[in-house]
Amino acid sequence: MNMQFFDEDHAPQARENVKIEQLEVVVYPDRFRVYIHIRVTPFLERPNLLLAARSEAGKIVSELSIIETMHHDMEFTMHLRGLQDPAGAYTLTADLFYETRNPPLHRVEQVFVVPSESEVEEE
């Protein structure tokens, strides 16, 4: 008798097959917080993730470390720090790794734009 606990598409994978499958970024109306939805391949060994948001000038304005996550589908809120006015373009980099991040096992980058205050008020 065969018992299946997972769909074939969602069976846990060995570390070499684990990738970031989805990275979604949504700016909150206050413009200083960003909603992050990240989904990775279901895994046998728990991976680490490092998320970093950088301004156009390359300055890190937010960073988030996830150590040995138990979940393959996650949601977070990141705060953009050290800014008087957050309006502008940013790049969110997500690194998936195990023992060492250099190099990461998988990396995804997502560009997002924080609107100006006047653009938010118009909506």
86 within some domain: yes
88 within some domain: yes
Output the domain CATH number for residue 13.
2.60.40.10
Q: What is the pLDDT of residue 121?
A: 72
**In the predicted structure, residue 9 carries a pLDDT above the cut 80:** no
C-alpha distances in Å from residue 47, one per residue of 9, 28, 59, 72? 19, 28, 26, 9
2 within some domain: no
18 within some domain: yes
Strands (E), 1-123: 20-27, 33-40, 48-55, 60-66, 73-79, 88-97, 106-114
Q: What is the pLDDT of residue 64?
A: 98
Specify the number of domains making up the chain. Answer: 1
Q: Which domain holds residue 52?
A: 8-122
76 within some domain: yes
| Whole-structure pTM value | 0.88
